[in-house]
Amino acid sequence: MADRVPAWLAARPSARVLWLQGRNLWRRWPLALAVLAAVFLALGALGRIRAVIYVIALAALSPRAVLVVAAVITATLALRHRRRLRDNWHRHWLAALPGDVSLTVRTAAGPVALWLAAAALIVLMSLAAQLPAWVPARLLGYCACGVVLGVALAAAFTAVISRGGQSGRAARALPHSRYAAARAASGARRRGVSLAPLGDWPRADTQFRDRPTIRARSLVLLLLAVPMGVAAGPVLAAAAAWLIMLHLINLLVALARTAFSASWWLAPTPLGPMRFAAALSHRTFAAQVGASALLIAIAYVALGPESLRTVCAIAVLWLAAVGVLGTAACAAALRTPSIAASALHRWRP
């Protein structure tokens, strides 16, 4: 069978691997592009909601906050991506070859691609909201500066850690189970077979990602972006809301991540998608509901009763999106057992 890879990729092994992985993904999921386009257009249509218009305009009027948030998110994603690349490089197709792309470029590729998608979404929502052209332009400009700053901070932090003896610290690092809740099973649970313990997988992954040492970095940078003279009450409310929103996002990401790992172990069993989704996501969804209720209470105290309706609507939309995306991830994980060997399954924290 002839290799249909374009000729200009022959001298670029990393780009060629990406081409082959993308072609394999297209053959396995032919409707993925159409589904992503539909989801993207649906998210862009949120620009017609008044609360979304207010948030976009407020972000455009707070460029320093946008810069700091973009830098924090980019630096966090870059550090995690670099760690995944370092831990999984021995299983990569090109592990035995000299790298044609530096580790810094590979580290920045993921966050930059994510911010390009976010920039396109901002433009689409601004068009739907009929905002002036300077609003998305200002947001994109400060987001781009934040991305560059975040990549630079991640590179500098990695260089400092490497000079200080990162290899010695990695040898003494605690395993991931150090942060997972370990509970002894009762006699009845030992004898019986149940899918209920699957619900602990996403919670354990989220608990590992919400470690105080990680959250403290983003919280410090968020507090530095607060102007001088602001009262302590709104600052504390904003910090609490920021941590809760990060927790909500981590819960959703952990559900999608553990779905593929769990499907690998349960591949020989005749398990349906809905039963699998219910067993895996019931604890995560309960945590989402609790965190959303806490976020609504903070908004009520900080912004007043007039914001309660808008915040409740956003919370309901978020919970609906979590249910749909979680069910879709579980169904996709059970579609074929070979998905366990793909890049999605190897995506480790």
CB 15: neighbour CB atoms within 10 A? 16
Is pLDDT at 35 greater than 50 in this prediction? yes
Neighbouring residues of 292: CB distance < 8 A, sequence distance ≥ 6: 248, 315, 318, 319
Residue-level pLDDT at 6 = 59
Exposure string for 200-233, b = 16+ CB within 10 A, e = fewer: bbbbbbbbbbbeeebbebbbeebeebeeeeeeee
Neighbouring residues of 126: CB distance < 8 A, sequence distance ≥ 6: 47, 56, 135, 136
335 compared with 66, residue with greater pLDDT:
66
Q: Model confidence over 182-232: pLDDT tens digits?
A: 555 554 444 456 777 788 888 888 887 777 777 777 777 667 766 666 676
DSSP class of 305:
G
* Mean pLDDT rounded to a whole number for the chain: 75
Q: Where are the alpha helices (DSSP H) in 187-269?
A: 187-191, 200-209, 212-224, 232-265
Most confident of 235-244, 256-265, 315-324: 315-324
CA distance 64 to 145: 11
Report the pLDDT averaged over residues 310-314. 87
In the chain, what are the helix, strand and coil shares in percent, each to the nearest 5? Answer: 80, 0, 20
Is pLDDT at 178 greater than 60 in this prediction? no
Residue-level pLDDT at 347 = 46
Report the pLDDT averaged over residues 305-319. 85
Q: Model confidence over 267-310: pLDDT tens digits?
A: 777 777 788 888 888 888 888 898 888 888 888 877 777 778 88
Q: Model confidence over 106-122: pLDDT tens digits?
A: 777 878 888 888 888 88
pLDDT-derived band at 98, boundaries 50, 70, 90: low
Coil, strand or helix at 209: helix
Q: Model confidence over 241-270: pLDDT tens digits?
A: 888 888 888 888 888 888 888 887 777 777
Residue-level pLDDT at 238 = 79
